[in-house]
Structure 1
């Protein structure tokens, strides 16, 4: 039975169709850095509650941000499945832990846990809906109190950004299966 592949929809912002989540992440971070994504996400959420338009001078930046983060969410969804076949290599020095302060010690040691927790709590569709809502609300000139929870998906997304950056810094490797045959003794 053939598995359905998730399209990462990278053509519009990366200029090519990526079918590998790790190559998509490379393109994601070639486009902008971690701080840009975290700051833009935070600003979009804040503007969701204001009566001001986010990026008023160039609202098309918000659409580009939306398409990139939507691709990122799809990659993270795939990474939760990859956790069974891939592992993060050696730990970093403790000095860099502060940089990833959104992660717990357990998540820092195994960033794949972040994706499992996020998608256990919210579906990919719920994350995509969150992204649509913050784009809609942040581009609206009318102040609103969004009727849905924007905080939970926001926190998960920040953690996913940190987890992916940590994985990129430390590297990932495929888990080698060892076929051990137990000797039968009589």
Structure 2
């Protein structure tokens, strides 16, 4: 059976099309830093409830962010399936609460859990709809729909950003099947 590879549609903003989600995470964070993404995503969500237009001086920035986030969601969708063959390398530095950011201790140790939880609750299409909604509402001079569910996808996306950065920083290694033989006494 032929495997269908998912296109991450990176060529628009990175100038390349890889197909390897681990390299794509590197490209995503080479484009901008984690703090930049989190700050802009938070501001877009805040502006989606206001009558002010986000980035009024240059709204094209929002379109570039939208394409980057849309790409990142596709990469995360691909990463959730990699957890059976890959694991994140152990951290070399001491663990502190600061390093956990939005992740639980379990998610910090295995960031693939974040992607599995996120796509267990929402589909890729629902996350893409969330992005469309916040872009539309943040660029609209009218206040957003107070009934729109933006909180859950926002929290998942923030956690996915943290997990992606953690994977990029620590690197990954293939899980090896080792035959553990019990020594005979």
TM-score by length of 2: 0.93
Aligned residue in 2 for 1:123: 123
Aligned length: 182
Structure 1: where are the runs of 5+ without partners? Answer: none
Aligned residue in 1 for 2:54: 54
Q: CA deviation at 1:76?
A: 0.3
Secondary structure of the structure 2 residue equivalent to 1:55:
coil
**CA offsets per residue over residues 142-181 of structure 1, 9 Å max, x none?**
1122432100000000001101111111111011123679
For residues 141 and 92 of structure 2, what CA distance do their matches in structure 1 show?
Answer: 44
**CA offsets per residue over residues 34-67 of structure 1, 9 Å max, x none?**
0000000000000000001100000000000000
Question: Cα gap change, 1:50/1:92 in structure 2, threshold over 3 Å: closer, same or farther?
Answer: farther
Aligned residue in 2 for 1:156: 156
For residues 91 and 109 of structure 1, what CA distance do their matches in structure 2 show?
Answer: 9
Aligned residue in 2 for 1:94: 94
Q: CA deviation at 1:131?
A: 0.4
Does 1:177 pair with 2:183? no
For residues 146 and 4 of structure 1, what CA distance do their matches in structure 2 show?
Answer: 39
TM-score by length of 1: 0.92
For residues 148 and 68 of structure 1, what CA distance do their matches in structure 2 show?
Answer: 23
Q: CA deviation at 1:94?
A: 3.5
For residues 81 and 133 of structure 1, what CA distance do their matches in structure 2 show?
Answer: 27
Secondary structure of the structure 2 residue equivalent to 1:13:
coil
Q: CA deviation at 1:96?
A: 5.2
94-103 or 76-85, which moves further after superposition? 94-103
Secondary structure of the structure 2 residue equivalent to 1:11:
coil
Does 1:35 pair with 2:17? no
Q: CA deviation at 1:110?
A: 0.6
For residues 45 and 110 of structure 1, what CA distance do their matches in structure 2 show?
Answer: 28
For residues 99 and 58 of structure 2, what CA distance do their matches in structure 1 show?
Answer: 30
Aligned residue in 1 for 2:82: 82
Aligned residue in 2 for 1:44: 44
Secondary structure of the structure 1 residue equivalent to 2:84:
coil
Q: CA RMSD in A?
A: 1.7
CA contact (8 A) 1:88 1:111 kept: yes
Secondary structure of the structure 1 residue equivalent to 2:115:
helix
